[in-house]
Amino acid sequence: MLTHPLFPAQTLFTEADLHAEQPHPLLDGAVGQLRSVVDWAREYLCAPHPELGRKGPVCPYAQGSLDRDIFYLAVQRGVDIDPAELDGALAVHRDWFRRLEPHDGPAAQFKTILLTLPDLPAEVARDVVDRTQQRLKPAYTEQGLMLGEFHDGPPAKGGLWNQTFRPLRSPVPMLVVRHMVASDLPFLADDPVTLAGYLRHFAHSGPAALRRQVAVAARRHGLDLPEAAVDVPTPRQPVNQGDR
């Protein structure tokens, strides 16, 4: 368990904390839901799926995150959450994420914070999660981060390899902070703002085929490719590209 040095009300939990003899008060009444998130990660994200459209697990990063104990769970309680309050909590976790080890290198791509919303009714949570992700996504991509949306809807985004597959269904609504990786291009290429954030970090990296797609997307939006390489360290892209 980690407590934020400046905001003591903000706490990050790992899998072990969910099985403590006396769970943290913030988890009161929600331990079972957070355990279901870990089970979902192990049994769904870390496993193949017949509708995925490719070999390998649904998310090629989840197993590495769990194995390294950098699969962090945060909790935002309340049956009714104010958008400004949620944005503020996410900003704290976004900045905290950047300070958590590992900062860079191959292991950094596995670090993730899942801000769960265990008290929100499902019909409310779907709208809250989708609107929040849409609203904040550009600010995250500018920093080389991704903000993912998960709920039981599921979110409308299709998989990279099978557009009819909806990989973002989860047992508890949540917003997920992680590092951007080169294979995120399809999630960012249709918006000039998010694509510009991607170009800052991956315009000159990744396999040659991907760099060609980057150049095509940039031309479509009238964006210039940066002359310099990445100006901040970013995690190395694994060989297996996923639908995360």
Residue 177 predicted with pLDDT over 80? yes
Total domain count, the chain:
1
Looking at residue 3, its pLDDT comes to: 95
Structural domain range at position 135: 2-182
Is 204 inside any structural domain? no
User: CA-to-CA distance for 123 and 120, rounded, in angstroms?
Assistant: 8
User: CA-to-CA distance for 86 and 171, rounded, in angstroms?
Assistant: 20
Is 159 inside any structural domain? yes
Is 194 inside any structural domain? no
pLDDT band, residue 67 (cuts 50/70/90) = very high
Looking at residue 235, its pLDDT comes to: 52
Residue 237 predicted with pLDDT over 70? no
User: CA-to-CA distance for 24 and 9, rounded, in angstroms?
Assistant: 11
* CB of 192 closer than 8 Å to CB of 221: yes
What Cα–Cα distance (Å) separates residue 55 from each residue in 29, 49, 74? 38, 8, 31
Is 200 inside any structural domain? no
pLDDT in tens, 77-112: 999 999 999 999 999 999 999 999 998 888 999 999
Q: Could you say which DSSP state residue 26 is in? A: G
Looking at residue 204, its pLDDT comes to: 80
* CB of 185 closer than 8 Å to CB of 210: yes
Is 71 inside any structural domain? yes
pLDDT in tens, 113-161: 999 999 999 999 999 999 999 999 999 999 999 999 999 999 988 887 8
* CB of 58 closer than 8 Å to CB of 243: yes
pLDDT in tens, 179-229: 998 888 888 988 999 999 989 888 887 777 788 888 888 899 999 888 754
Is 227 inside any structural domain? no
User: CA-to-CA distance for 237 and 35, rounded, in angstroms?
Assistant: 29
Is 177 inside any structural domain? yes
Residue 238 predicted with pLDDT over 80? no
Is 92 inside any structural domain? yes
